[in-house]
Amino acid sequence: MLAAGGYRSGSTLQYNLVGEYLEQVGSGCRAGYLEGDAAATLLPIWSLVDHVGLAVVKTHYAVTGTAAGAATSWLDLVADGCAVPIMSVRDWRDVAVSMCRKFGLDIAVLGASVLWQDNIREFEAWLAAGALVQRYDDLTADPVGAMAAVASLLGLTWDDDAAERAARAVAVPRALAVQEALATGTYHPRLLLHHDHVATPDGGAWRRWPRRDRRALERLVAPLVERHGGSWEAPPRWAARAS
């Protein structure tokens, strides 16, 4: 299973929710973050992957970055039925603000950056590949429901108690506590949380930006809202597609 959400979209939370549940019920485990060219390495030894049950991987790249030019991509494994992609999506404004904070970019130059352009191309590639799409707001407000949707997709036996334990284990307060204990520049190898991973889990930090920056942000995300939905007042069109 590929937790393939873009940068700052909630992909780490989605990865940990699904991985924690699988570990709670003994059906699989988290396998960490793998780059886009890892599919070519894994394919010849796929029997080892099958041996662990369901392996949950976090990745960002299917067509860009380290996946560009790879002999085998994650999308090839999806097409062959070896992998199932899931993807977190978030208010484009919150994604942009979080990318500016995490990567030290100004909103005026974010749109032209490789990180932003790759992020959009990856989003569209995973969407076209049929990824199960889950909104960040739903991952935080109803984590058990998010896990249930993945369990249904995979045909797994459902365990309410295990889901509740998994939700508590990786909830935002827990993530904040973990990252506070990390030294600058480090990350938690199991949870994949960086020392500065979570800043405004409820979103909306853009509301505190100067008017000039808010206008630049609106110009940046307007084409994405037009192409993919996600109006700022109503649920995105992709949410209806995923349900």
- What does the alpha-carbon distance between residue 154 and residue 22 come to, in Å, rounded to a whole number? 11
CATH number at residue 6: 3.40.50.300
Q: Do 115 and 99 meet the contact criterion of CB atoms below 8 Å apart?
A: yes
Composition of the chain by helix, strand, coil, percent to 5: 55, 10, 35
Helix axes 114-128, 211-228, angle to 10 degrees: 20
Instruction: Please count the structural domains in the chain.
Output: 1
Residues whose CB falls within 8 Å of the CB of residue 74, separated by 6 or more in sequence, listed in order: 2, 4, 36, 39, 59, 61, 62, 67, 83, 85
One-letter amino acid for residue 173 of the chain: P
Cβ count within 10 A of residue 115: 16
Q: What letters, b where the CB count within 10 A reaches 16 and e where it falls short, cover 156-180?
A: beebeebbeebbeebbeeebeebbe
- Whole-number pLDDT of residue 228: 81
- Whole-number pLDDT of residue 240: 42
- What does the alpha-carbon distance between residue 122 and residue 105 come to, in Å, rounded to a whole number? 20
Q: Do 174 and 168 meet the contact criterion of CB atoms below 8 Å apart?
A: yes
- Whole-number pLDDT of residue 52: 67
Q: Do 156 and 163 meet the contact criterion of CB atoms below 8 Å apart?
A: no
| Residue 75 lies in domain | 2-242
Helix axes 160-170, 11-25, angle to 10 degrees: 140
Structure tokens at 35: 């780059």
- Whole-number pLDDT of residue 74: 92
Global pTM? 0.91
End-to-end alpha carbon distance in the chain? 19
pLDDT in tens, the chain (243 residues): 999 999 999 999 999 999 999 999 999 999 999 988 888 888 777 777 667 678 999 999 999 888 888 888 899 999 988 899 999 999 999 999 999 999 999 999 999 999 999 999 999 999 999 999 999 999 999 999 999 999 999 999 899 999 999 999 999 999 999 999 999 999 999 999 999 999 989 999 999 999 999 999 999 999 998 888 764 433 444 444 443
Burial class (CB in 10 A: 0-12, 13-18, 19+), 194: middle
